[in-house]
Amino acid sequence: MSKIHVTTTVNGDEVEFLTDPRETLLDCLRDHLDLTGSKEGCGTGDCGACSVTVDGTLVSSCLMLGVEAEGKKIETIEGMAGKDGELHPLQRKFIEHAALQCGFCTPGFLVASKALLEKNPDPTETEVRYWLAGNLCRCTGYDKIVRAVMDAAAEMRGAA
């Protein structure tokens, strides 16, 4: 089977890669672009570990084909910190609130949380919990994650 040439923007940089038509976006990010922050937890779109945004929409990259990335704008966990290396407020708050343990699910939670705050900069706790329901964590119990998101939202609004 012949490979397909894909040109897309990932974390603000135009990139090109060759992909098998059946490869997932997750595999393309990890295997062709060496962006290994997104993880495959389930391969069925149920765990959120592979969350990225595509043209501003949160997606499970294990369910999207790499060829579908043509011409799209993709953001991964690797693009979350500033170009100068300064952590995003969400990243800082996850650290401050100890909202991670093993770290496997953390990139997906961070990307999903950022997508939420871009759509709703002042979410209620219930809205945060609902939005993050597609991200599974076996370590933290979610409370610290929710508190970190709420605290980051307040800081980003200038309320903290």
The H or E element containing residue 74 is strand 73-75
| Domain end call among 41, 59, 79 | 79
Q: Are residues 97 and 136 in the same domain?
A: yes
Number of domains in the chain: 2
Residue 110 CB burial class (10 angstroms; 0-12, 13-18, ≥19): buried
Per-residue pLDDT of the chain (160 residues; tens, 9 = 90+): 799 999 999 999 999 999 999 999 999 999 999 999 999 999 999 999 999 999 999 999 999 999 999 999 999 999 999 989 999 999 999 999 999 999 999 999 999 999 999 999 999 999 999 999 999 999 988 999 999 999 999 999 996 5
Domain of 136 in residue numbering reads as: 89-157
Looking at the structure, do residues 71 and 19 belong to the same domain, yes or no?
A: yes
Q: How far, in Å, CA of 97 to CA of 146, rounded?
A: 10
Shared-domain flag, residues 11 and 75: yes
Give dist(CA 146, CA 124) in Å, integer. 10
pLDDT value of position 159: 65
Answer yes or no: is 56 within a domain: yes
Residues 36, 8: one domain? yes
Q: Tokens representing 160?
A: 């903290």
pLDDT at 112: 98
